[in-house]
């Protein structure tokens, strides 16, 4: 019955499934999202299922659960040091769209652009979440377990949680996170095997560029909040992955 509904009206299926999943997991999501964040996450879930179906939904759901999990790692110590995410990691609307805006635009573009662009747009969609999960994981693992943290622009040792700081532990964890979510996207048929590589490379580039932004200009502009920087980060990841894929296609095609 659900398959039939999904086949004839994916948007109705999106509303029913997203609402049902939220109600079933209410105790969990109420700890991971603010009330306003929950509403915006519901909108995101409906848009993703309505455009990309269950494969796209599985990617954003994995990102949300994995990202929330790594944010909670070492929370007590990070809060004591004053470097934890606000609200103990509970996501609000600004966090939802700071992480998902670029990927959502790729998903919506599948509705209006010719079908031949769908693989490229799906790659962009996945690379946005691959980039953000890599960034979140690198940051949270670095703050919790980084033995030595360095400012990315000077390689000068700095305290954990410093804007623009990187660590070996965080970088490796972030790289692994980008691989896992990209492999998931390939397994559910959203991207080709080579797309896994583009997502991982794009995530690595974008995450390090975000650290450069944090180390240089973020403190100079009040509007350049963490959420805005997150949006820039994911946009870089999306554009980089799509650009690499397009360039590769031109190379082997030519």
The confidence score (pLDDT) of residue 251 equals 87
Q: How far, in Å, CA of 49 to CA of 178, rounded?
A: 22
Q: What was the pLDDT predicted at 5?
A: 47
Helix (H) or strand (E) holding 193: helix 193-216
Give the pLDDT of residue 53: 93
Beta carbons of 72 and 203 less than 8 angstroms apart: no
> Which pairs count as long-range contacts for 75-83, CB under 8 Å and 24+ apart, including other chains?
77/144, 78/140, 78/143, 78/144, 78/161, 81/143, 81/160, 81/161, 82/161, 83/143, 83/160, 83/161
Report the C-alpha gap between 112 and 249 in whole angstroms: 22
Q: What is the pLDDT of residue 3?
A: 52
Phi, psi angle pair for 157, to nearest 5°? -60, 135
pLDDT value of position 91: 81
Check: pTM over 0.95? Answer yes or no.
Answer: no
Name the stretches of the chain with pLDDT < 70.
1-8, 80-81, 83-89, 254
pLDDT of residue 2: 46
Q: According to the model, what pLDDT value does residue 110 have?
A: 97
Do 211 and 152 form a contact (C-beta atoms < 8 A)? yes
pLDDT (0 to 100) of residue 25:
74
pLDDT for residue 193: 96
Question: 150: which residues sit within 8 A by CB, 6+ positions away?
Answer: 156, 157, 158, 165, 166, 167
């Amino acid at each position: 019955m659900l398959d039939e509904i999904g086949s004839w009206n994916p948007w109705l299926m999106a509303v029913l499934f997203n609402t049902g999943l939220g109600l079933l997991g209410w105790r969990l999501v109420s700890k991971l999202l603010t009330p306003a964040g929950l509403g915006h996450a519901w909108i995101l879930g409906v848009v993703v299922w309505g455009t990309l179906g269950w494969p796209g939904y599985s990617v954003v759901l994995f990102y949300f659960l994995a990202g929330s999990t790594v944010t909670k790692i070492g929370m007590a110590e990070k809060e004591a040091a004053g470097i934890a995410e606000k609200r103990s990691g509970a996501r609000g609307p600004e966090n939802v769209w700071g992480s998902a805006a670029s990927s959502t635009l790729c998903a919506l573009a599948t509705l209006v652009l010719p079908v031949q662009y769908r693989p490229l747009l799906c790659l962009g969609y996945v690379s946005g979440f691959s980039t953000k999960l890599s960034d979140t994981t690198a940051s949270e693992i670095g703050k919790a377990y980084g033995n030595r943290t360095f400012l990315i622009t000077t390689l000068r040792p700095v305290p954990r949680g410093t804007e623009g700081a990187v660590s070996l532990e965080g970088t490796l964890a972030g790289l692994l996170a980008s691989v896992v979510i990209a492999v998931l996207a390939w397994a559910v048929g959203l991207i080709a095997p080579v797309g896994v590589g583009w997502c991982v490379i794009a995530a690595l580039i974008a995450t390090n560029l975000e650290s450069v932004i944090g180390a240089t200009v973020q403190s100079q502009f009040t509007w350049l909040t963490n959420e805005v920087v997150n949006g820039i980060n994911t946009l870089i990841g999306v554009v980089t992955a799509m650009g690499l894929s397009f360039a590769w296609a031109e190379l082997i095609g030519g």
